[in-house]
Amino acid sequence: MTAAPAREHAIEARELTRRFGTFTAVDHITFDVGVGEVFGFLGANGAGKTTAIRILTGLLAPSSGSARVAGHDVYTESEWIKRRIGYMSQKFSLYEDLTVGENIRLYGGIYDLSREVVRERTTHMLSRLGLDAATRVQALPLGWRQKLAFSVALLHEPSIVFLDEPTSGVDPITRRQFWELIYEAAARGTTVFVTTHYMDEAEYCDRISIMVAGRIGALGAPAELKSQFDVGSIDELFVRLARPTAGAAG
Amino acid sequence: MSAFRGLLRKEALHILRDRRTLAVVIFMPILQVILFGYAIRTDISRIRLAIVDPSPDAATIELRNRFTATDAFRVVRVLPSAGTLDRLFASGAIQEAIVLDGDFANRLARGLTARVLVVADASEPNSGSAMESYALAVIQGYERDIAARGGAVRIVPEARMRFNPTRASANLFVPGLIAFVLTIISALMTAISLTREKETGTMEILLVSPLKPLEIIVGKVLAYLVIGFVSVLLVVAEARLVFAVPLRGSLMLLLGEGVLYILTSLSLGILISSRTSSQRVAMIGALAGTMLPTILLSGFIFPIESMPWPLRAIANVVPAKWFIVIARGVMLKGVGLEYLWPQTLILLGMTVLLVAAATRSFRIRLA
């Protein structure tokens, strides 16, 4: 933790690019995410969101450009980045055949938390979610699992948490509860980097970016973007940005 | 360190919770020893035999008694003529027939060549030749005794089966079975369990965490190494207790070579899982890539020497072939590393190559 973040930025991406052969999945994207911000990362399927997240989480090396996550360089300091971030994938990220308590304990161990810390945070988390430690995860309804997975991703108190479509397939009420958890985390100073296909959720974000064919098509606060592009909703903006490309590609 | 312990604990819980798979893994080797030992044995006993004796007298009765006396034969018919033999063979009532000449005793008494016809049901060729040689052995024994009594010196050809004098098939299949069981547990289970993590998305979570790729892999496979090791102990103990299969060499050497072979199979499993993304594909890959060669091309069941050269060449890259040579050497011949070092070296080389390839393909997925 020698390199202190240069300004108050949790993520800084400069001309970040990733090519797979001749295909450019992420094409010179530049953006910043402020500390404690809820940043919505939008884009149609195949627009390059997952590739960008994989670069920022240290799973994939960029082809060119630069990026700093939590003040650490993605090329040389991915080990530091991994300690400072939490991650929840669009697939389910807990072990279904383990109990709630066993899952928490496993992740506590992976992030080198002491037994006392894990116990203390577990108690707090379970009472907040209203869950029993002895329940097998596979017995939980999907919405509960997602809330649990999110809380587990925050267990080691990361400075940034990446959420890849965390609410897909979840009912509207549980989605709302999920967003309450996101706001609580942001209020504690955690930066939230979230992808979603629900445009109502996009409106909840402090700022959003919309990726189109590997580039950033729009970037700003939802209200700003709506007036800038003169549209009634983010949904409308999303469709307007995505459609020409979809037509060209198809 | 506590992170790594947590991983091991997690893997143990996965295995213990999945009762059905656990039961299969533990009972399959035990059941297979029984199956191979009793049902699929290639040595034959209680052969249903008919003896055609047109003119019974002291000499032919003595020969008949010799067939009755051995466990290998069960004399189900004694017939005056060969006329009904075809029907008996066709119905399966008999598997083998001994047809004595009408003047068998007479010619024998006069020192002439007495003729005996041995007919065996060779619809299953291996059993056929085995039955034939059993019968010839009985007849030769008889001939030898007569010669001894008459004082004349006759040279009777004698063949001895070394290392497996009773030709007990258990001796032959147990080393192969160890290879087979280890392949299933190490390669198949590892491939499936690693792909399951990819399929459910938990692998990504582990990769994003500060855990090193090596820790993740070792944490996954260590449990299977332990299970594989326990299976070797079970199979060796069962083979010894139930079938009295000998262990003439060093147990330590056998277990050490066992661990080496487990490592080979584990790295094969990791390699398969790194190229596949679904449990089903991983399973098919492991079955085709490791289990079939282990059964067909390792000398486990079919002798490699009798294969055409392309198959013999392919068999050389099947790790099980080398392990089976080692296991047979240690168990049946009682030899040590002074004879088995070439095979051990080959297996070691394969393991190093496979571990390198597996680590590399696991890393490529990250980069």
Q: Chain B within 8 Å of A133 (Cβ-Cβ)?
A: no
B33 falls within a domain:
no
Quick check: B204 and A59 CB within 8 A? Answer: yes
Query: Who among B2, B7, B18 is closest to A112 (CB)?
Result: B2
B9 falls within a domain:
no
Quick check: B3 and A57 CB within 8 A? Answer: no
Q: Chain B within 8 Å of A135 (Cβ-Cβ)?
A: no
Residue in A with minimal Cα distance to B211: A110
What residues in B contact A145, CB-CB < 8 Å? none
CATH code for the domain in which residue B72 is found: 3.40.1710.10
Per-residue pLDDT at B177? 84
B39 falls within a domain:
no
Instruction: Give phi and psi for B361, each to the nearest 5.
Output: -70, -30
Task: Looking at the complex, report in whole angstroms how far the Cα of residue A95 sits from the nearest Cα belonging to chain B.
Answer: 7
Query: Who among A85, A89, A96 is closest to B204 (CB)?
Result: A89
Provide the domain limits for residue B280: 169-366
Q: Does the structure show a pLDDT above 50 at B273?
A: yes
B7 falls within a domain:
no
What residues in B contact A102, CB-CB < 8 Å? 10, 13
Q: Chain A within 8 Å of B207 (Cβ-Cβ)?
A: yes
Q: Does the structure show a pLDDT above 60 at B279?
A: yes
Q: Which residues, given as ranges, of chain A have pLDDT below 70? A: 1-7, 244-250
What residues in B contact A82, CB-CB < 8 Å? 208-210
B31 falls within a domain:
no
Domain end point (choices B113, B137, B162)? B162
Q: Chain B within 8 Å of A1 (Cβ-Cβ)?
A: no
∠ at Cα B356 (B353, B361), nearest 5°? 120
Same domain, B182 and B312: yes
- Amino acid identity at B220: K
Among residues B172, B274, B179, B262, which one has the least CA distance to residue B224? Answer: B262
Q: Does the structure show a pLDDT above 70 at B159?
A: no
What residues in A contact B367, CB-CB < 8 Å? 60-61
Number of neighbours of residue B227 by Cβ within 10 angstroms: 18
Same domain, B119 and B150: yes
Same domain, B153 and B200: no
B310 or B149: whose pLDDT is higher?
A: B310
Per-residue pLDDT at A177? 92
Percent of chain B with pLDDT over 70: 90
Quick check: B9 and A106 CB within 8 A? Answer: yes
Domain count, chain B: 2
* Interface contacts A/B by beta carbons within 8 Å: 74
Same domain, B157 and B186: no
Mean pLDDT of chain B: 82
Q: Does the structure show a pLDDT above 90 at B181?
A: no
Q: According to the per-residue pLDDT averaged within each range, which of A175-189, B3-17, B98-112, B170-184 is highest?
A: A175-189
Question: What's the CA gap between B42 and B169, in Å, rounded?
Answer: 6
Q: Chain A within 8 Å of B278 (Cβ-Cβ)?
A: no
Q: Chain A within 8 Å of B210 (Cβ-Cβ)?
A: yes
Q: Does the structure show a pLDDT above 80 at B221?
A: yes
Q: How far is the CA of A87 from the CAs of A184, B189, B199, in angstroms?
A: 17, 28, 17
B87 falls within a domain:
yes
What residues in A contact B204, CB-CB < 8 Å? 59, 87, 89, 91, 93
B273 falls within a domain:
yes
Question: How many CA atoms, within 13 angstroms, populate the side-chain half-sphere of residue B196?
Answer: 15
Q: Best interface-test mutation with B: which of A74, A99, A106, A114 has the largest number of B CBs within 10 A?
A: A106
Same domain, B178 and B231: yes
Same domain, B257 and B286: yes
Region of poorest pLDDT, from A80-84, B5-9, B98-102, B150-154: B150-154
Question: What's the CA gap between A233 and B252, in Å, rounded?
Answer: 73
Q: Does the structure show a pLDDT above 90 at B37?
A: no
Domain end point (choices B129, B162, B195)? B162
Query: Who among B10, B207, B367 is closest to A106 (CB)?
Result: B10
Per-residue pLDDT at B153? 39
Q: Chain A within 8 Å of B20 (Cβ-Cβ)?
A: no
What residues in B contact A88, CB-CB < 8 Å? 205
B15 falls within a domain:
no
Same domain, B62 and B211: no
Task: Decide: A171 and A143 in contact? Cβ < 8 Å.
Answer: yes
pLDDT tens, position by position, B40-96: 555 677 888 999 988 888 878 888 888 888 888 889 989 888 888 888 888 888 888
The position carrying tokens 């993740």 is: B216
pLDDT tens, position by position, B121-154: 777 666 777 788 888 888 888 877 877 776 443 4
Q: Chain A within 8 Å of B364 (Cβ-Cβ)?
A: no
Domain end point (choices B96, B127, B162)? B162
Same domain, B345 and B249: yes
Same domain, B357 and B208: yes
Same domain, B317 and B179: yes
Task: Write out the two tokens for B334.
Answer: 């009682």
Query: Who among A59, A97, A105 is closest to B207 (CB)?
Result: A59
Same domain, B183 and B300: yes
Same domain, B279 and B340: yes
Query: Who among A83, A89, A105 is closest to B210 (CB)?
Result: A83
Among residues B7, B271, B359, which one has the least CA distance to residue B15? Answer: B7
Edge-to-edge order in the sheet of strand B116-120: B73-79, B47-52, B96-100, B116-120
Quick check: A93 and B14 CB within 8 A? Answer: no
Q: Chain B within 8 Å of A90 (Cβ-Cβ)?
A: yes
